[in-house]
Structure 1
Amino acid sequence: MSGLAAVLAGRHTPGVHRWESALDVAAVRHAVEHAGWGFGYVDGAGLETRAEVLRAIGSALAFPDHYGANLDALNDCLRDLPGRTVLLWDAWAGLAHAEPRWFGLVVELLGDRGDAGPAVEVLLRGAGPADAVPLLA
C-alpha cells in the first residue's frame, strides 16, 4: 500500500493511477478513512458505457439525486465533495476498451482537479491498457 500511503500522507500528488494491490475493499476503505479521507468504490465489471460509469461513480461518491451523470455534472459534484477522497475503481478496463475517447475524458476530469475542490485520488485496479494512466508504485 506504499503508493497509496504516500498519497494519503501528502507525499504524492493525488490523481488517477493504476494500482496493483490485492487488498480487499474493506481494508482499503479502512486505511483511507483512518487517514481522514473519504472513500468510494466502483465495481466496474460489465460497465462499458460512459453513462454506466458516470452513474456508478455518482453512486460510489454519494452524489445528490439531481446528479446528471454527464461530465459537467461530474465536475460540479467532485468540486462539492466534503473533503479529500479516494475512489477505488475495480475492473476499469471495460470503458477504456469500449469507449477509449470517453475513458480519456473521464480520467482527465477526475485527475486534473487543480483548485476545483478537494483532492481526488482514483485507483484503477485490475487489468487494462498499461499506457492509459501511470502506475502508483
Structure 2
Amino acid sequence: MTSLATTLQGKRSAVLRSGRSAQEVLAVGRQAGWRLVDLELTGPTDKAAFLDLCANAFDLPDWFGHNWDALADCLDDIQDEPGVLVAFAGAEHLSAPDREVIRDIFDERVDLGPNPFVVVAATGT
C-alpha cells in the first residue's frame, strides 16, 4: 500500500492495481483526506447497472445521460481537492468490451488534471 500512499501524498494522478481490498484502499484515501469513490461490483452486471452505480458513487448531476460519453464528460468535471480516489473492485463481473471502455475513460480522466484523480483496481471486500 506504500505506492498508493506515496501517490496520494505526491498528489499524482494514476491508475494502479492493488492486491488489497477496496475498503483498505479507501482507508488510505481517508487518511490522506481525499474524496473517496467506492465502485465495488459484487456480482454479474451490465453497462446500465454500472452507469447507475457511477451516478450514485460519483454523485453525478441529474442531466447525466447514462452512456459512456456522458460518464466521461461528467468525470472530467470532477475536480475535488486534494483529489479523488476511486476504489474499483469486481471489474470481472462486467463484459470484456465494457471493461475496455471503462479503462479508456479512466485513463483519459487521469491524464486530464488539474487536480489528481487516482483509480485503484482493488479486490473485493
| TM-score bin, normalised by smaller chain | 0.7 to 0.9
Partner of 1:2: 2
Q: Matches of 1:41 and 1:19 in 2, distance apart?
A: 14
SS in 2 for 1:21: strand
Partner of 2:32: 35
Alpha-carbon deviation of 1:60? 1.0
1:93 aligns with 2:92: yes
Task: Please point out which of 55, 62, 67 is paired with 1:65.
Answer: 62
TM-score by length of 1: 0.74
**1:107-131 C-alpha deviation (Å, 9 max, x unpaired):** 111122223663321112228xxxx
- Higher fraction of strand: 2
Q: Matches of 2:106 and 2:66 in 1, distance apart?
A: 14
CA contact (8 A) 1:80 1:117 kept: no
CA contact (8 A) 1:78 1:117 kept: no
Structure 1 residue identity aligned to 2:92: A
SS in 2 for 1:122: strand
- Higher fraction of helix: 2
SS in 1 for 2:120: strand
Alpha-carbon deviation of 1:82? 3.4
Structure 1 residue identity aligned to 2:87: L
CA contact (8 A) 2:88 2:120 kept: yes
Within-5 A mapping of 1:112-127: 112-113=108-109, 114-115=111-112, 118-126=115-123
Structural RMSD (CA): 2.3
CA contact (8 A) 1:18 1:124 kept: yes
Q: State the percentage of identical aligned residues.
A: 24
| Count of residue pairs the alignment pairs up | 121
Partner of 1:15: 14
With over 3 angstroms needed to count, the CA separation of the structure-2 counterparts of 1:47 and 1:15, relative to structure 1, is farther
**1:78-118 C-alpha deviation (Å, 9 max, x unpaired):** 111132211112222111xxx21221111111122223663
Partner of 2:49: 52
SS in 2 for 1:74: helix
